[in-house]
Structure 1
Amino acid sequence: MSVERLSINQITVKAWSFEETVRGLARHGIGWIGAWVGPVEEYGPERAAALLRDHGVRVSSMCRAGFFTGKNPDGGGLDHDANRRAVDLTAAIGADVLYMVSGGVHDDLNLARSRAAVVEGIAELVPYAASAGVRLAVEPLHPMMCAERSVTVTLDQSLDIVERFDPAHVGLAVDTYNVWWDPGLDAALARAGDRIIGYQVCDWLVPQPHPTFGRGLPGDGAIDIPAITRAVDAAGFTGPIEVEIFNEKVWARDPDDVLGAVVAGFPHHVLP
């Protein structure tokens, strides 16, 4: 099947609850979901695991934990208990990849110290995650998000962090929206090799409507997503490919229509 690797990150169909999302994916023949901590915790991890089993849907990743610098624009700062709870929820629903968002620059504006805090925070979380069988996926965000969301902004920078840890416990997450612009992208993906444990796709809309909520469906923007997929595959990643869309216009559409459009476009706008 041309969509056997397709995963839908739950934020793409934000209007749906966790249960509605799982049922909707099954209805469209989509076998993977990118889950979020909040909806899973609200639904209940045991119920969520049973629902996933009943509908034959597997979890490609869990979003998210981290914010190791203490900066989180969605509220709160570094919360060790919340990060450990995210690990627990990931394991409870049968997933093994938990996405890490680094956090924005410290209030003291010391970028070097902020980036050092990311390494320290991951190191603190690794033993707990490893004991639960969960791998931490370090995700660089686009440089425009450095101040408030992530001081980790390139694949090479993220790999410098990832390579400090056992590959069984810490890997790299690649998101087309965040990395497509990088002139060193192909070399970084080749360097990453089997350290890639997560791959997310969406498009860069022109003009860009919003730095966070400006993601488009694959094929609607400026990114050559199939070329990036080809490079990710060549590096050795053969796992699910998550479509992750933050866009209020997409969220306002009928989720069934969104899934239909993604399924129809996936072989042409995502696969190499």
Structure 2
Amino acid sequence: MLQRHGTVPLYLQLARHLQDRIDGRDLPPGAQLPSESELADRYAVNRLTVRQAVAELDRAGAVEIRRGIGTFVRTPPTQVSVDVSPRSQRIAPGGPAAPADPAAPADPAAPQPDPATARVERVLRTADAAEGEATRALGLPPGRVRRLDTLIDPGGSPLAVSSYWLAADLLPAVLPALEETANLAAALHRVLGEPVRYAWRAFSATAADLTDAPLLGVPTGHPLLVREGVSCTADGTPVYFVRRRLRGDAVRFVLHYQD
């Protein structure tokens, strides 16, 4: 399981393995991690290696160390709902968010497309579905869902890592369209023949973990903003679930309360 003669230190390999277990809900929110001695025995490493691995997870915000009690997987944040007009959903690169356009399209539920310069997505990987919330949101069994990870790097400067979950049968057509458009919403519009719209979005904060940190060019534990939610077709059919992690030092969100 751990590579004894590889270039990645054992403590970092162990931290990434535990992070994978947390992400896959093998260690769900609130669960207590095995003790140092149990982890040391299970992975055939010394306790110092375990201590370093847990410290990395703590720095990344994945676990909480309670002195004298144990180490626990952090629980999700409390949700606060805010209703916002979809007409204001757009990106203004390099400046404040643009105000709602009085000449917006007749369909008020359709978000404005992002400017091409604001979001340039490139595929990092595709994988089987592993997020229960995503598959439930799509109303599909895990075997019919695939995960697509992309990096948003306008101008070659990493800004955000996105994980999308969508129907497996969409992926073969979406990948070449995404290669051409550099924007998943535009790619899906091309594939489906109709625009997708936001059903809901949630905002929270986290720390850069052992996977996202090197992709975004930030240290482990760097503050990230998280935007996640579902987008759907005009009839309300869910198309994808997204969880986007954005550099907290490079992005801000502005909510417009008036059309």
Q: Which band: TM-score by shorter chain? A: under 0.3
TM-score (norm 1): 0.24
TM-score (norm 2): 0.25
Q: Identify the structure with bigger relative contact order (alpha carbons < 8 Å, sequence gap 6+).
A: 1
Larger radius of gyration: 2
Q: Identify, as 1 or 2, the structure richer in helix.
A: 1
Q: Identify, as 1 or 2, the structure richer in strand.
A: 2
